[in-house]
Structure formats: C-alpha cells, structure tokens
C-alpha cells in the first residue's frame, strides 16, 4: 500500500524538449488513478518516472513519505503491467507467476501457495502448465497481471494493459480490474486511451495535454465541470458541443445570446436565461463580451422535454438543419449543420427528424458550461 506524491515533476530528454512539465499530483493510498490524453502527451513517461525506469529531470517523487528520485526501480515496490504482456516465453505459466518470488528467495511452499492463490483468483489455474505461446491474448494478460499481483506490491502501474485485447475481452477484463482493485485495495495508476475504462475504473482521472496536467478530478466532476475546452471536448463521446455566444441582459437577467449567424433565417429569440453563480460571474466579468458555451449532446432536447424539465421558457429554441440521423435503439443521435463542425444532439428514441429537416432544440440551462473565449478556461473554475 502506498501514497505517491509528485511535486513539480519535469522530464526533459536529451534534445532538451520538455515532455512532462510541472506535474503535481497527490495520490492517496488505495486510489485508482487513470491517466488519459492524446498520443505523445507524456502519460507513459510519467508512469515510467514513477516506476524508476526513467530519470526525473526536475521535481520530487515521494512514495510513502520517502523521497524516491534516486531509489532504484526494484526498491520502489511497484509492479508494472504493460500492453505487450512481457512474459518469459520459455517458462510455463507457473514459472512466470513464481519468478518474482523465486528471485526474492521465497520458500518453495510459500511460492506454491501464492501461485495457486493468484491463479485461482484470476481463473487461470488450469493453465499453469502451459507456455505463453499456447495462450490467448486475454489469458496472457491475466498471467501478466498475476505476476504483478503475486509480489503484493505497494502500487500497480499499468500502461494500456488492455489495448491488445478485442472489445469483448476488454470489457470483461475491465470489470475484473475493478473487482481486483476492490479486493486488494492496492494503489493503482492506469494509462488508457479508452474513455469507458477511464470513467468506470478511476477514482480520479488525470487529463494531460502536451506534458501538462489539464485537470485531475473525479470522473463525475471531469465530465460535468471540465476545467477547460480541451477537457470538455476530450472526455465524452460524442464530445461536448461548443458554441460561440454573447453575454447580454434581458428583463434584468443575464442571458447568453446565440450567435445570429448560425440561424439568421429564423425569427424568434435565441437566448438562454441563466441563474445562480454562472449568471453572476458572467454579469460581472463578461457582460457584452463573447464567450464559448458548452453543452453535452445529452443535455440537448426537444420542446416537450424542455417543458417537462421546466426550462422551456428560459431557453429559446435553437433551430438547425439535420445532416445525419443515427438510430441507436435507446436514443436517436442527430448531427446538425454548424459553422465549423458538428453539433450533436442525443434525443429520445421517439424523435422522427430525418436528414434535411429543420429541428428546434433546447438546452438545459443548468447543464451549460461557459469557457473564456481567449484562455478557453472554464469561467467558474
């Protein structure tokens, strides 16, 4: 069990380019931290610095209250699981599982007991005599995980451990990771490209871009209150819609005015009344200015739902032409014409709009996020 603290950690390779820049994170014991971000943003490098496989250029790494920058990898008590399994091909499954204990000179009986315990918990006991070449991808990954947990490490460091598996197996293994973490409670840092893995496994998600942490928070908060436009568009699929609009006033209330250019063919007011902290913040800092409004596709709805949700009056209809309609059974996804890119609405399955139709949509004002047009930071965070 371990808590891990990264303080102003930086990584520069020989070419002098900063690959990880001022990384700060305080990981509590038993946490399941997920790193996400575009390819090349520094996820693996950060993980490798924690594991001790890569030097830390600047900053401090503390594990369980001990400064570990110069502690050897094998002294750090971490177990790493990679995408490509890293099994010993000429050893049996038993040999692979037992290896880490044997080199640490554990008594034979203890080794045998633990191998069977771990194999049972991962349902690979029947495979103990086989070699890695005779295993499926999923089975290999179980063995790799087994050899990571058998040492009872202080923490697991996992770099895209499921990315070589097919979709079905991935889902299955994801559930098993969740169970395993619940049972063992071992601090885990997990790198993935998969949104579902990030949202379902993480106690906290760390979103990175260009070597910098953009936001580190619970999955719910990252989804609901993204710190900036990048996070808003990176997490969630289809991504959050972003619309430029202007902050104004109507009947003494702060409103967001949707850009006229979008649908000048239509009369009617395209404005949204705001309430609470957001209204106050916009009134004081952005009156008359342009901002970016963010709304998730599932927070867009048709008139009837806006009425039953009680916000039909505070949000005037917003009319757009349907480009593409996708029927997914439990919902209908409409892709609508917009200035630069798609505007996406996830609607109730009753929706009947076809491509080419105009559709009037409403936004739940309570679900709206607003970003500064220049910095792209969330105005409330």
Ligand X SMILES: Nc1ncnc2c1ncn2[C@@H]1O[C@H](COP(=O)(O)OP(=O)(O)OP(=O)(O)O)[C@@H](O)[C@H]1O
Task: Quote the least distance from Cβ 77 to ligand X, whole Å.
Answer: 23
237 contributes a contact to ligand X by CB under 6 A:
no
45 contributes a contact to ligand X by CB under 6 A:
yes
Q: How far apart are CA 166 and CA 305, in angstroms?
A: 38
CA atoms within 13 A on the CB side of 359: 30
Q: How far apart are CA 62 and CA 211, in angstroms?
A: 20
Report the Cα 171 to chain-centroid distance in Å. Answer: 16
56 contributes a contact to ligand X by CB under 6 A:
no
Closest to ligand X by CB, 212 vs 321, is 212
346 contributes a contact to ligand X by CB under 6 A:
no
Q: How far apart are CA 200 and CA 176, in angstroms?
A: 12
46 contributes a contact to Mg ion by CB under 5 A:
no
Closest to ligand X by CB, 44 vs 141, is 44
User: Which of 16, 39, 72, 168 lies at the binding interface for ligand X (CB under 6 A)?
Assistant: 39
| 77 DSSP 8-state letter | T
User: Which of 5, 6, 9, 19 lies at the binding interface for ligand X (CB under 6 A)?
Assistant: 19
Q: How far apart are CA 26 and CA 153, in angstroms?
A: 19
From ligand X, Mg ion, none, interface partner of 268 (C-beta below 5 to 8 A by class): none
Is residue 187 within 8 Å of 155, Cβ to Cβ? yes
Count of positions on this chain that bind ligand X (CB under 6 A):
10
Q: Which of the stretches 42-50, 87-95, 326-334, 344-352 binds ligand X when contact is defined by CB under 6 A? A: 42-50
228 contributes a contact to Mg ion by CB under 5 A:
no
User: Which of 5, 36, 42, 294 lies at the binding interface for ligand X (CB under 6 A)?
Assistant: 42
44 contributes a contact to Mg ion by CB under 5 A:
yes
Residue 252: partners with Cβ closer than 8 Å, 6 or more residues away: none
User: Which of 9, 41, 111, 258 lies at the binding interface for ligand X (CB under 6 A)?
Assistant: 41
Q: How far apart are CA 132 and CA 288, in angstroms?
A: 65
364 contributes a contact to Mg ion by CB under 5 A:
no
User: Which of 13, 183, 280, 341 lies at the binding interface for ligand X (CB under 6 A)?
Assistant: 13
- Name the residue with tokens 């050897």: 72
Task: Quote the least distance from Cβ 248 to ligand X, whole Å.
Answer: 41
63 contributes a contact to ligand X by CB under 6 A:
no
Is residue 283 within 8 Å of 371, Cβ to Cβ? no
Q: How far apart are CA 139 and CA 266, in angstroms?
A: 59
Closest to Mg ion by CB, 44 vs 215, is 44
Q: Which of the stretches 43-51, 279-287, 305-313, 357-365 binds Mg ion when contact is defined by CB under 5 A? A: 43-51
- The pair phi, psi for residue 260, each rounded to 5°, is -60, -35
Q: How far apart are CA 179 and CA 21, in angstroms?
A: 34
User: Which of 26, 40, 55, 287 lies at the binding interface for ligand X (CB under 6 A)?
Assistant: 40
Closest to ligand X by CB, 33 vs 119, is 33
Task: Quote the least distance from Cβ 131 to ligand X, whole Å.
Answer: 29
Count of positions on this chain that bind Mg ion (CB under 5 A):
1
Structure tokens at 41: 């943003």
Report the Cα 355 to chain-centroid distance in Å. Answer: 32
* Cβ-based burial of 283 (10 A; exposed 0-12, middle 13-18, buried ≥19): middle
Using CB under 5 A as the binding rule, the residues of this chain from 173 to 212 that contact Mg ion are: none
Q: How far apart are CA 297 and CA 306, in angstroms?
A: 14
Closest to Mg ion by CB, 47 vs 56, is 47
369 contributes a contact to Mg ion by CB under 5 A:
no
Structure tokens at 51: 């594991």
43 contributes a contact to ligand X by CB under 6 A:
yes
239 in helix, strand or coil?
coil
Closest to ligand X by CB, 235 vs 301, is 235
155-159 vs 78-81, strand pairing mode: parallel
161 contributes a contact to ligand X by CB under 6 A:
no
353 contributes a contact to Mg ion by CB under 5 A:
no
- For residues 167-176, b (16+ Cβ closer than 10 Å) or e, as one string? eebbbebbeb
Contacting residues toward Mg ion, per CB under 5 A: 44
Contacting residues toward ligand X, per CB under 6 A: 13, 19, 37, 39-45
């Amino acid at each position: 069990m371990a808590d891990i603290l990264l303080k102003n950690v930086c990584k520069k390779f020989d070419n002098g380019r900063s690959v990880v820049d001022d990384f700060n994170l305080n990981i509590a014991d038993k946490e399941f931290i997920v790193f996400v971000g575009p390819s090349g943003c520094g996820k693996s490098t950060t993980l490798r610095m924690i594991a001790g496989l890569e030097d830390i250029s600047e900053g401090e790494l503390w594990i369980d209250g001990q400064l570990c920058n110069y502690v050897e990898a094998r002294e750090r008590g971490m177990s790493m699981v990679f995408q490509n399994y890293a099994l010993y091909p000429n050893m049996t499954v038993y040999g692979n599982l037992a290896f880490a204990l044997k080199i640490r000179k554990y008594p034979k009986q203890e080794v045998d007991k633990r191998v069977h315990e771990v194999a049972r918990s991962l349902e690979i006991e029947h495979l103990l005599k086989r070699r890695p070449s005779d295993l499926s991808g999923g089975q290999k990954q179980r063995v790799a995980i087994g050899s990571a947990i058998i040492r009872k490490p202080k923490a697991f460091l996992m770099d895209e451990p499921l990315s070589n598996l097919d979709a079905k197996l991935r889902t299955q293994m994801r559930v098993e990771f969740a169970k395993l973490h619940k049972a063992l409670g071992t601090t885990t840092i997990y790198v993935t490209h998969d949104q579902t893995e990030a949202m379902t496994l993480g106690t906290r998600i760390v979103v990175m871009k260009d070597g910098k942490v953009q936001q580190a928070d619970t999955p719910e908060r990252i989804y609901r209150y993204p710190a900036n436009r990048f996070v808003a568009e990176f997490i969630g699929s289809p991504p959050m819609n972003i619309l430029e609009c202007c902050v104004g006033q109507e009947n003494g209330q702060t409103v967001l005015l949707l850009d006229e250019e979008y649908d000048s063919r239509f009369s009617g007011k395209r404005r949204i009344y705001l309430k609470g902290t957001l209204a106050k913040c916009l009134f004081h800092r952005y009156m008359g200015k342009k901002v970016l409004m963010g709304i998730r596709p599932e927070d867009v709805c048709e008139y009837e739902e806006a009425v039953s949700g009680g916000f039909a009056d505070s949000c005037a209809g917003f009319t757009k032409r349907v480009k593409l309609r996708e029927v997914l059974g439990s919902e209908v996804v409409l892709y609508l014409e917009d200035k630069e890119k798609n505007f996406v609405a996830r609607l109730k399955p009753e929706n009947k709009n076809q491509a080419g139709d105009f559709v009037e949509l409403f936004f739940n004002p309570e679900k709206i996020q607003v970003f500064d047009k220049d910095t792209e930071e969330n105005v409330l965070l």
